[in-house]
Chains A and B, each alone.
Chain A
């Protein structure tokens, strides 16, 4: 199957190559072909792989900038060291203890700080890293700045290597599963992630805890290798070291991080002068990479042999094509051709659509969505006041009003992005106001945004796959073990996602990055993504904005069609009056946050108050 280089995935070839390399190194160590110095360097490289990969999960995959990684390494190192010194426990036990304590530290620190965004999080993690160091420096049990000596020496390249492999494997599997997709979604757009049903706080904390735990494991290995540790091993500069590895390899690229972790460990060993100037070269490297290749050496891509082969083939192809292009020019006509076929397919579907639904009668007695006295204040401004909306099942309800009337705010309140100041929202008879957005999505409400919020740097297919988060139905455990049910589920998600894309005539584009789609297709993709959460109520926020009459007509057919096919109830905000009048069965008119009228399109069209407030007096 065709793959986009940015698609999330795993690669067996990599694991096989790494295993072979390690086998060779192990045999060489066993046969004393490598002296202890080289073995030691390799060991450090292994520790750095663990650190870089675990930080990558937090910084690269989930997009939360943490610059206090050394703090968690310190927690692990001191846990292992204290156990080893005072209780003489075996290495394996110390390692597990380090892993667990670092995870706990990560949880304690992550839970409060991950509510913050971007810069604040960075500074908070930095602060915590420093506090951990100050605490270690002041406690008697850690012997302050003098550090701990007498940790049992473990000749640990073997252990380091096993742990490094485990780290990479676990994080790799995680990234290529539903939880990993959730993390990537958070990196791309937190609000959109929340509205497709992802509990963003949970997954941020999860990434942070897992990352910290592995940093702790790296600390334990380090402590047992050095047999001596002091607070100065875990300063802010150590955190920066790890950050440089991740950034250089490319934030989000696990293989890139590994490559740069190994090279940055080995390079100073080969080039002595680099070691002397290391603290000048590292920051310089950081700045230069950011200035000229901010996505790192690999970006979010992974090193993939197949991709390499393909790019060589592409290069050859391009070379030969350029030669051909010298002979003749042109060839930009097919674009418009594609568009019109898309319109045709929709036309066909519309003709089929006449098979109507016949359940209108009884369901109208009990509304699917009901709001009672819904109001919200922004400072002193009452943006929406006393909204009483009642949408029966299967309805196509319109919400119109001049700019600033509070229509989008109503959507934000229903989906939980802005908790209402007063009033209640009932959905399927259950009260939903006050719940977080992801929980509301889980009850069956999906939405699109006025200013399209796709996961721009992911493929069209991944955009939809992420939205299957709620129906994925497996957790962290089965993502890591990856037994048959997992693969079946993943295949199901992929085929369902493709089915949805086909329905929206986007399946040819499935490997395209979302940001590269034309405007109209982005709008359609956003609706497809909303449908993937399996909603019973769909909120569309100005779906026809910026569309030409032909596209709007197609959109109307599409909306009718998805309502019938998915048994949806649709609430729709729109400024295009012809669309609203033709499509909606009932319309609510807002003006300055106040409901001024509700009725059928015919009544709205003739109501004098609506005409005055909405269409302007001259329209009368």
Chain B
């Protein structure tokens, strides 16, 4: 009986979600709704999935546990995805080297925690600073001279930069994995779900960083300049905005977030190595595309979706299919709505 009820709830939730989607533009115009909309929809989706699982008779606690794990992994993806999306929004480039900047951030955090024996917060800040510096450096060396070149040239350069960082790193630090010190060992029990302290920290830090980013982009002058440049570079230039500086700031901010993600991933999955950036980098890009590339809330949404679905696939299917799910989702979204869930449809002017 309860199974049937759960199934009904699931169906109602789906219909409600579909209706919500249709009136989204109107809803989002009110600021009160705007900030609660995405968390609320994710919550709704989890409730709906949960009901579905009850209806097919799976262990609910196990599912919730996996979903929570997925959320912490997803928040790391989301942090990386933000950098992709910001850079894409501003210079229309898939910065392939972004995943490697995340890797360098993880190493910087590791060195700060072990060699310098610093506590967590300073180590995080150092990692973010190092990543930001590297991001700006990559932009200056490789992308800036090509600003007016065809997109394919830029894209190939980005692929080249990614491989370069990765392999130089491998030569310098060797390919042996390093292990992060175990700084957050405890775990909490909330409503029957056990949550590791480390995962909770990851989630909290991510949320704080995202709120900070949202504030930066919406209310500060550089943030406004950034949005202006992403709308129309030439018009922004004519309004007296220093394009080069804005692009550098974008790379710095995006890379800093990736650096933070590197440290956060280090405290959940302690093993780090020079090639660790490839897969999360690609998946984070996929997350950005799924959410709608160039749209900041989209990157968060996409990251969480990928993190949760990846963990669920691992839990219910097999971990060896884990890497396929992100790309499967990518193909699906590109076929159904190429501009992404929150993306706007653009038409080429003829």
Contacts and interface: CB of A to CB of B under 8 A. Distances in A.
Contacts of A237: 163
Contacts of B321: 134, 138
Interface stretch (B145-153, B205-213, B232-240, B261-269): B145-153
A67 B159 contact: yes
Given A283-B164, A290-B160, A123 B289 contact: yes
A277 B338 CA distance: 39
Interface string B284-306: 01100100000000000000000
Interface string A230-245: 0000001100100100
Contacts of A287: 142, 157, 160-161, 164
A116 B164 contact: no
Interface stretch (B48-56, B193-201, B326-334): B326-334
Interface of B: 92, 94, 142, 145-146, 149-157, 159-164, 167-168, 170-171, 278, 282, 285-286, 289, 318, 320-321, 323-324, 326-328, 330-331, 334-335, 338, 347-348, 350
Contacts of B350: 191, 408, 412, 417-418, 449
A131 interface: yes
B323 A134 contact: yes
B146 A294 contact: yes
A134 B146 contact: no
Most B CB atoms within 10 A — which of A67, A119, A137, A412?
A119
Contacts of A203: none
Contacts of B156: 243, 247, 286, 290
Nearest to B327: A127
A183 to B, nearest CB: 15
Interface string A132-145: 00110110000010
A138 B145 CA distance: 43
Interface of A: 59, 63, 65, 67, 112-113, 115-116, 118-120, 122-124, 126-128, 130-131, 134-135, 137-138, 144, 191, 236-237, 240, 243, 247, 251, 277, 279-280, 282-287, 290-291, 294, 378, 408, 412, 417-418, 449
Nearest to A447: B350
Tell me if A's interface is mostly helix, strand, loop or mixed. helix
Nearest to B165: A283
Contacts of B168: 280
Contacts of B171: 277, 280
B164 A135 contact: no
A242 B266 CA distance: 34
Contacts, number: 121
A290 B330 contact: no
Contacts of B145: 291
Contact of B160 (A135, A286, A412): A286
A467 B43 CA distance: 55
B152 A123 contact: no
Contact of A290 (B157, B285, B326): B157
A286 B331 contact: no
B101 to A, nearest CB: 15
Given A118-B155, A130-B324, A294-B149, 18 more contacts: A65-B155, A67-B159, A112-B334, A119-B92, A119-B151, A123-B94, A123-B286, A127-B331, A130-B282, A131-B331, A135-B324, A138-B318, A240-B159, A287-B161, A287-B164, A290-B149, A418-B350, A449-B350
Contacts of A126: 282
B155 A119 contact: yes
